[in-house]
Chains A and B, each alone.
Chain A
Amino acid sequence: MESRQVILDKLRATRRRGELRERPRFVVERVFADIPAADREALFEQFSRKLTALKGEVHRVATPQEAAQKIALLARESGFVRCGRQRTALLDRLFKGSLDLESLEQQMTVVDEETLAHTAVEGMQCAFTQADALISRTGSIVLRATTAGGRRLSVLPPVHCVVATSAQLIACLSSWLTAVHDDRSWSYGTIITGPSRTADIERILVLGAHGPKRLIVLVIDEPGDSH
């Protein structure tokens, strides 16, 4: 308490330039040269181009059934046995409604609001989560602990697969920032742009420094009635 007062008093004793004034604001459209048009095709095109350039993997599918097939293929190719996922309506439909994914689902840790054991996440080869939105301008995925199964699920396993819908594509961060600011129920959010990376050794790019080596995004056009 004492230090707080000492510091604040010292700052207050300093004369400021002029009067208290309005917070400066900026117009996104006047800052960035690469804001995509607001139609779905343009949004997807830029999102996919930006994220692919950063070695992220982007797949677009029409229906949840197609998404399930894609995931089954991915799991077979990568030899996934132990995976984890969130408990959400969309992911439930994807995993429970697919014969292709039956064997994967049987061994899957399903995460809900119960406390997630470290060991359960540590052994996972891949985590499936949803996200809040996809940001086209920068090829980013935004998520929060409350919407993506906590903090660890999307960072500890070596592969992170995000299931999203094309309706979630937005041009810029601003609308997401405003929306999540008003929601006081979450403690952690993150803006993810590509798989984990480092260039700490002679500026050579290496993927999968500490977080996921692969970031896969499945964009579903017609998620059906559950969404």
Chain B
Amino acid sequence: MGSASEHSRFIGSSEVKASDETHRKRLLKVIASYDSVVVNQKASQFIDWQEARGTAAEIKRYVLDHLPELLELFEQNASNNGMQVLWAKDVADAHRIVDQIIARHGIRKVVKSKSMTSEELELNEFLEHKGIETLESDLGELIVQLNGEKPYHIVTPAMHKSKEEISEIFQRTLGCEPTTDAEELTDIARRHLRDVYITADLGISGANFLLADDGAILILENEGNARLSTACPRVHLSIAGIEKILPSINDLELFLPLLSTSGTGQQMTAYNSIIRGPRQDGEADGPEVMYLLLLDNGRSEIYRKPEVRDALSCIRCGACLNACPVYKTVGGHTYNTPYSGPIGAVITPHLKGMRDWGHLAFASSLCGACTDVCPVNIPLHHMLLTNRQEANETAPSLFWQTALKGWALAMKSRFVVDIGARAVRVVLQALGCVSPKLTAKLPQPAARSFSSWWSRHGE
């Protein structure tokens, strides 16, 4: 059930977070406000939400069934657009590629827009280690980066921070005046990053979708930082998981509102950028070079396993996190992995190893709320059960090993079962002697057991 270190760290952190009332109240308040807008958006925009997500699920399952072909088609179209498509099988591979890009273009400063794949690669640490200044530009990401933290939530990275805490972080790291006004705090971040977009040599982004038939990538965002990060620097690098494919540009009509409805309760995210490559002739601006890094990093392992393969349909909306009673109690950081909540508990053990991360499958009540809200119908709670099984097979705990062996042994022996049954009777009779009230409503145990009766009268 997971390595002692990660597993016990999870339990330790859960205990702290679950009893931190301020933390829990803030989280519940934020998620409650999310919940109400999502419900309204689903009802007002879609004729039938269930139908809509069924259609989306069908398209994503088609993608999985044709993944190698669609990846090749995407690569071909993207290359024709002038994009340079690169493939990385794991973290080391991706680091090597990023290193080459940095050397080739003499990169000294990087501006990043939100990207969960870059969290998988721990890219900020990697770049800082190389002496490259790296700045997050999404407001939430900037807040956690300045405070030396990891993102708390895949959509809302600083969900756990109060205005007061953010003000303190900005005072400490940016030397600004104290304020608890959300507008002023946002403006501090805006002013802080203005020059960064213009002085950075490399913009790094993620991608929400890769369009196979068009060879374009999609980036959804509300703030404009991704637009600026991909428009201003002379080189653009986008990092995307190999599962991000959509068959056609026409699928955007469904997937853009689907993702924003589930992600934030908006009908449409403010900016949906369609990027085909570097600046073309006749365009006023844009990067000279654009790279797209296709990242495997364990995804082909998930692909290999029929029970969890459909988890690769995930569009990273974060709805299952917001619905999960365990996430809402223990918080995002307790998972200690880029992908938290139910989807994190499903995919992380396959991306990073069942032995160390199998315990995440047990951080669930199996209530099915995650499956219920998933916009692409991933049966998340069933997959959590599958993971539990695999986790027990991979690294069963000593307690379970002993208990299950003992149970099997006892059930195979008439003698041991009889001892057990007799023990229950003795205990009940003893209780009756001590306090008749306690056993008054219970039926009296029969004078003798069925098995002893059968041994005399049977046959």
Contacts and interface: CB of A to CB of B under 8 A. Distances in A.
B224 A150 contact: no
A34 B284 contact: no
Contact of A206 (B182, B193, B194, B284): B182
A50 B303 CA distance: 41
A193 B231 contact: no
A114 B251 CA distance: 34
A48 B314 CA distance: 34
B186 interface: yes
B228 A156 contact: yes
Nearest to A155: B227
A10 B256 contact: no
A201 B158 contact: yes
A177 interface: yes
A196 B300 contact: no
B162 to A, nearest CB: 7
B451 to A, nearest CB: 49
Contacts of A188: 230-231, 273-276, 283, 286
Interface stretch (B10-18, B40-48, B343-351, B374-382): B40-48
Nearest to B268: A193
A155 B190 CA distance: 13
Interface string A192-227: 111111111111101011111000000000000000
A203 B264 CA distance: 10
A151 B158 contact: no
Nearest to A215: B270
Interface string B182-217: 110111011001100110000000000000011000
Contacts of B161: 201
**Which one of A122, A150, A189, A196 has the highest number of Cβ atoms from chain B below 10 Å of its Cβ?**
A196
A167 interface: no
**Which one of A30, A189, A192, A200 has the highest number of Cβ atoms from chain B below 10 Å of its Cβ?**
A200
Q: What class of interface size applies to chain B in its complex with A?
A: 35 or more
Contacts, number: 266
Interface in B243-291: 247-250, 252-254, 256-257, 264, 266-280, 282-286
Nearest to B33: A203
A115 B58 CA distance: 44
A210 B276 contact: no
A187 B286 contact: yes
Interface stretch (A61-69, A74-82, A97-105, A178-186): A178-186
Nearest to A13: B304
Nearest to B301: A10
B248 A23 contact: yes
A187 B51 contact: no
B267 A193 contact: yes
A165 interface: no
A9 to B, nearest CB: 9
Contacts of B272: 190-191, 193
A215 to B, nearest CB: 9
Contacts of A118: 198, 232
Contacts of A122: 194, 198
A10 B89 CA distance: 11
Contacts of A173: 252-253, 256
Contact of A211 (B187, B189, B223, B247): B223
Interface SS of chain A: loop
B282 A146 contact: yes
Nearest to B278: A187
B304 A10 contact: yes
Contacts of A178: 249-250
A211 B228 contact: yes
Given A14-B303, A122-B198, A138-B268, A21 B214 contact: no
Contacts of B247: 23
Interface in A138-188: 138, 140, 145-146, 149-153, 155-156, 172-174, 177-178, 180-181, 184-188
A178 B53 CA distance: 23
Nearest to A150: B284
**Which one of B55, B271, B282 has the highest number of Cβ atoms from chain A below 10 Å of its Cβ?**
B271
Contact of A200 (B158, B252, B279, B296): B158
Contact of B55 (A26, A116, A197): A26
Given A173-B252, A209-B186, A185 B280 contact: yes
Given A190-B273, A194-B270, A210 B47 contact: no
A161 to B, nearest CB: 16
Nearest to B67: A11
Interface stretch (B138-146, B330-338, B362-370): B138-146
A210 B225 contact: yes
Contact of A113 (B270, B277, B284): B284
Contacts of B273: 188-190
Given A7-B87, A10-B300, A50 B156 contact: no
A31 interface: yes
Contact of B264 (A26, A111, A199): A199
**Which one of A21, A111, A204 has the highest number of Cβ atoms from chain B below 10 Å of its Cβ?**
A204
16 contacts: A10-B300, A20-B65, A21-B62, A23-B62, A23-B248, A25-B250, A26-B59, A26-B254, A30-B51, A149-B284, A181-B213, A191-B268, A193-B272, A197-B223, A201-B166, A211-B225
Interface of B: 26, 30, 33-34, 44-47, 51-52, 55, 58-59, 61-62, 64-69, 71-72, 80-82, 87-89, 93, 137-140, 143, 156-158, 161-163, 166, 182-183, 185-187, 189-190, 193-194, 197-198, 213-214, 222-225, 227-228, 230-232, 242, 247-250, 252-254, 256-257, 264, 266-280, 282-286, 294, 296, 300, 303-304, 309
The 5 closest A-B pairs by CB, nearest first: A211-B224, A150-B284, A151-B231, A209-B223, A200-B140
Interface of A: 3-4, 6-8, 10-14, 16-18, 20-21, 23-26, 28, 30-34, 50, 111-116, 118, 122, 138, 140, 145-146, 149-153, 155-156, 172-174, 177-178, 180-181, 184-204, 206, 208-212
